[in-house]
Amino acid sequence: MEGDIRKRGKVEKAIEFVERMKKVHEEARAALKKAQEDMKKQADKGRKETKDWKKGDRVLLSTKDLVFKERLTRKLVDRYIGPYTIKEVVFTNVVKLWLPTSMRIYLVVNISQIV
């Protein structure tokens, strides 16, 4: 009989522990969900709606990340060059342009680089 009482006591303690862990798990899940929503809210503050580009649109390409050998001073370089025609919309934020071969840059650019 003594063995049964000890086992029952251990089972009750185990059940209490499991219930306490479930409660802690739910609280942690709720805290993570709230933190995720707060981070998304902060990240979305800096985002803006993008224009829907389509094949055949003419756009200007930003010179911000381009290197020009013939022009040494960044101050005197135009901010945008072009216009160039969109060859294909690869993804919602990536387009492929018709660029002259003399430019020697990759044809696929992010829409943050075009106007």
**83: number of Cβ within 10 Å:** 13
Query: Is residue 53, in this structure, part of any structural domain at all?
Result: no
Identify the pLDDT of residue 96: 96
pTM: 0.59
Count how many domains the chain has.
2
Domain of residue 70, residue span: 58-113
pLDDT in tens, 6-55: 666 678 888 999 999 999 999 999 999 999 999 999 999 987 777 889 99
pLDDT in tens, 98-108: 999 888 889 99
Identify the pLDDT of residue 107: 92
Q: Is the pLDDT of residue 1 over 50?
A: no
Element (H or E) spanning 108, and its range?
strand 108-110
Query: Is residue 24, in this structure, part of any structural domain at all?
Result: yes
